Structure 1
């Protein structure tokens, strides 16, 4: 008699499949997937690579999902301490854009099966998936298999199972960010607007959501509306004593003023951002230089300086594998060349 594979079931649901739709994806009868999940049969070897891709797991991860009884394997507490320590290291690596090391650390854990009914193991697994999503977002891998969206979706399924409402809301916020990055500005603005008053989030996250309403509206060309969301967010960040978010908000305000045709106010806002740089990590430097370069392109007298800043930001983006930032810089330069 087989052992029910809870991990395989969880992975299938997190990937967005029912038994029927996964069977269709793999070209199988629905009963076959059910038999796998009940532990009554095993996928044939030639089906396993496609199954792993569909579930968004590594080959090793799939083998562990299929291992009989693996879903109830417990881990010693020391193993959990190592896992938690590695995730803290991953967060530091992502702040420095050390993507290769972050991925290496995450691969130690995301390919392992999570113990069924073990809340601590599930929580660490959910946190691992969230960080994997952050890594892929920073690299610009937003949709499709092995993307930020898939990782966030799997993490959300884990945190829902745990009843961790705040973590679920944070992931909803990240999914809205992906919509914005993918060019769906108006839908993203609406999601941000709802989350800006969502009590599942803490004050900082609600204020970030409010700021990002303005960011999305500005990208949609609604710059005057954007300013009405960004300015109150700046005041709230100051009250919350969040200097990094406060500085970034002034960058967003400068770009909104630029889009609204007020270069004087844009310059004032951006000078505040320059005087209070949030840090010198590669991502922070690229975002600041990109915004500054974009602003300088608005004036023919400073356009050459703007192009040099964008060139440097593009080089840094390439060096660290920040493909989404590189695409944004290319878009700014193409728009400038069309206008010129």
Structure 2
């Protein structure tokens, strides 16, 4: 059986890879601090564990099964040139993975879900996260987040093949490799899922917390403030929602984010509709329709749904509203936007009841 005369960070890292464990899992397996394992990974042969830790590593290797010891020996027995070639292969592999992530982002912006899914799953299916280094874990986490975005847009929010599951798994990885900004972004995405699921009060509170979270960028904090208003509006608190979302529009203007500014006007329009002020609702939806810079299928459906909802609220424009919703539903079906389709169907059902008196 292979033995190690003196452990360095290089041998310790090789044992972790052979065990196919993440750094956190390896630290727990040995009973040492995560920062100790991180030091081994960073310094490699330039760091030597303490004598008591050397004994812990000896025990871990002795208790490993035959396949693990075989992988460990193979990792150590390669020549320096062999290790260099392996490093180059890994670097090239990661570069290709990064390129596929960029391509998947472009596909998602166009709601090309099948191609985006293929790009992401080819890597998620190829790698075991427990065997990846920090760079690999980062790419794995990014891929999971994008897969979660895809699942969310398709309306899959619960279960083992859902956006929630993908986001939570990615969140655990980013906590492990200590990237707080990514963790906070995922918490924002999880709050969106809560709102989609009807947990409006809880999601509003979480949005308020994230709106002041320094882990997030200024744009993400402004989005959180906007979504506070969205949750309030869905819960019927439309006057307060308008004030909160109007403040968010100022943030987007200061940040020079025209698309977010346009989306904010769309959401304000719906809050005014909820407050029975159709005149302002139509004013704001017209601003949103004329100022948007991204003509993606998703945004076309969202704008059409909001516009149709407002038009349906007035008996005089009911037929126009139904026509606008029909167009939005057709695009939603074409691109597999199941959640948007359900929203459109819900609006139609709600408008089958006798309309309430609305102010113009």
* Structure 2: distance between partners of 1:319 and 1:332: 19
Name stretches of at least 5 consecutive residues in structure 1 with no aligned partner: 11-37, 43-66
2:222 counterpart of 1:207: yes
2:88 counterpart of 1:79: no
SS of alignment partner, residue 19 of structure 2: coil
- Deviation track 1:126-174 (CA, whole Å, cap 9, x = no partner) reads 1000001001001000011110000000100110011100000000000
Mark the structure with the bigger radius of gyration.
2
**8 Å CA contact 1:237, 1:246 repeated in 2:** yes
TM-score w.r.t. the length of structure 1 is 0.80
Matches within 5 A, 1:165-314: 165-314=180-329
CA RMSD in angstroms, aligned pairs only: 2.5
Q: Name the structure 2 match of 1:163.
A: 178
Larger displacement relative to structure 2 (109-118 or 324-333): 109-118
Deviation at 1:280, TM superposition (A): 1.6
Q: Name the structure 2 match of 1:14.
A: none
Distance 1:5 1:78, change over 3 A: closer
**8 Å CA contact 2:229, 2:240 repeated in 1:** yes
Distance 1:84 1:308, change over 3 A: same
Deviation at 1:269, TM superposition (A): 1.2
* Structure 1: distance between partners of 2:130 and 2:139: 11
* Structure 1: distance between partners of 2:225 and 2:201: 14
Name stretches of at least 5 consecutive residues in structure 2 with no aligned partner: 2-14, 26-62, 76-85, 356-360
Give the 4+ runs in structure 1 shifted more than 6 A. Answer: none
Deviation at 1:179, TM superposition (A): 0.4
**8 Å CA contact 1:165, 1:200 repeated in 2:** yes
Q: Name the structure 2 match of 1:91.
A: 105
**8 Å CA contact 2:20, 2:131 repeated in 1:** no
Q: Name the structure 2 match of 1:315.
A: 330
* Structure 2: distance between partners of 1:338 and 1:264: 22
**Count of residues in correspondence between the two structures:** 289
* Structure 2: distance between partners of 1:315 and 1:140: 16
Deviation at 1:116, TM superposition (A): 4.2
* Structure 1: distance between partners of 2:66 and 2:202: 43
**8 Å CA contact 1:39, 1:68 repeated in 2:** no
Distance 1:239 1:136, change over 3 A: same
SS of alignment partner, residue 315 of structure 2: coil
* Structure 2: distance between partners of 1:116 and 1:191: 34
* Structure 2: distance between partners of 1:4 and 1:281: 45
Give the counterpart of 1:103 among 117, 123, 141: 117
**8 Å CA contact 2:245, 2:264 repeated in 1:** yes
